[in-house]
Amino acid sequence: MKILHIDSAITGEASVSRSLTAQIVARLTAANPDAVVNHRDLNKGVPAIDTEWFHAVRQTPENPTEAQNRIIETSNAYIEEIRDADVLVIGLPVYNFTVTAQLKNWLDQIARAGVTFRYTENGPEGLLTGKRAIVAYAAAGTPFGSDLDFASDYLQHMLGFIGITDVTFVPADRLAFDRDAGLARAQEALDQIAA
DSSP letter, residue 36: E
Residue 156's alpha-carbon distances to 44, 48, 176, in angstroms, are 23, 20, 24
- Kindly give the residue spans of alpha helices, DSSP state H, lying in the chain: 16-31, 51-53, 66-84, 101-110, 152-161, 179-191
Q: Which residues are annotated as a binding site for FMN?
A: 15-17
Q: How far apart are CA 82 and CA 13, in angstroms?
A: 25
Side-chain-side CA neighbours of 56 within 13 Å: the count stands at 19
Q: Which residues are annotated as a binding site?
A: 15-17
Can you say whether residue 169 is alpha, beta or left, with left for phi > 0 and alpha for psi between -120 and 50 degrees? beta
